[in-house]
Amino acid sequence: MAAPEHLLSQWSVGKTLYGEEVKLEELSGQAVIISYWSAGTKEDEKSLAILSAAHRKFQSKGLVVIAAEMRQLEKKDVDAALGGKDPGFAITRGARGPVALEEMPHSFVFGPMGSLIYSGLPSDPEFSTALNKALLNSKPRSGPVKRAPLVKVDLIPERKWLNSSGKDVIAAVIAIEDDQVMFRMEDGRKLPYPIKQLSAADQRLIRETAKK
């Protein structure tokens, strides 16, 4: 899709939920992707996979990837969409820009001078063409990258768990080690818990998560 005449400086990316804390005014000379998305559809999941591949392949060339969650989802829903994995690039909430959109996912590719060179689906072949163009004069970034502190993607978002005695507990799983899970309770406490003391269904969920 042909890009309208806009500049990166007309966007704001909102609050960083995961990954690198990005300030657009510091990205002069870099190729930048801002991609609007929300959890819940296969297209959005596919878009995150495309962004992840681009980040891994081109971050050394100065590419900065920002995935902006646009429907103000609860953190547990964002966690679930990420599949318990740190995406490596920035995930933000509350981004704003001059282009009105009705459908997602939608990606914007900016060249090193901040000009918008692509606006459309990240799965469109033109996205890759525009990205390669943006990278031609993109400069590797210098200095340490600042990542958002105190944020960890849960292996399993907060939910109700049932033990073998029929009692329930509400917690997120933050680690799985051998025959135990590490729960993060509603009050923030960390509690190790034997997997075998959970219901059969909950044990299956944990075993399946551990295999990923």
pLDDT, tens digit (0-9, with 9 covering 90-100), for 53-112: 999 899 889 999 999 998 887 776 777 777 666 777 888 888 999 988 878 899 999 999
3 confidence band (pLDDT: 50, 70, 90): low
Residues 6+ apart with CB under 8 A from 93: 14, 15, 17, 68, 69, 72, 73, 78
> What phi, psi does 187 have (nearest 5°)?
-90, 5
Neighbours of 29 (CB within 10 A): 16
Look up the pTM and report it.
0.69
Segment holding 209, helix H or strand E? helix 200-211
Cβ burial of 30 (10 Å; 0-12, 13-18, 19+) is: buried
What pLDDT is stored for residue 144 in this prediction?
55
DSSP-derived 3-state class of residue 8: helix
* Contact in structure between 85 and 55 (CB atoms under 8 Å): no
4 confidence band (pLDDT: 50, 70, 90): low
122 confidence band (pLDDT: 50, 70, 90): very high
What pLDDT is stored for residue 121 in this prediction?
92
Q: Which residue has the higher pLDDT, 190 or 1?
A: 190
What pLDDT is stored for residue 211 in this prediction?
81
